[in-house]
Amino acid sequence: MTTELNLPVESEALLTPSEVAAMFRVDPKTVTRWAKAGKISAIRTLGGHRRYRESEIRALINGDIPVQREAAE
């Protein structure tokens, strides 16, 4: 049995936490913590897994999106 997803033709590439972690050279758990803290946005799959927009991640790496920093206490 196959299931077809109704995705728009111009659907954006999504990355797994491991793929994002490899790009930033951090542990995948760090990527999950960033998402929980609101530093990067995540999309949840139907199974509850996090996925990240490739365009947003590449913009962060290129410095096109300023990194959110926590205020010093």
CATH class of the domain whose range is 14-62: mainly alpha
CA–CA distance, 42 with 30 (Å, rounded to integer):
13
pLDDT reading at 6 higher than 90 = no
Query: Who has greater pLDDT, 25 or 11?
Result: 25
pTM, 2 dp: 0.72
> Which amino acid does the sequence have at 38?
G
The amino acid occupying position 11 is S
pLDDT the model gives residue 11 = 75
Categorise residue 17: left if φ over 0, alpha if ψ from -120 to 50, beta otherwise.
alpha
The one-letter amino acid code at 57 reads: I
In this predicted model, what pLDDT tens digit does every residue of 36-50 receive, in sequence order? 999 999 999 999 999
Span 5-19, average pLDDT: 75
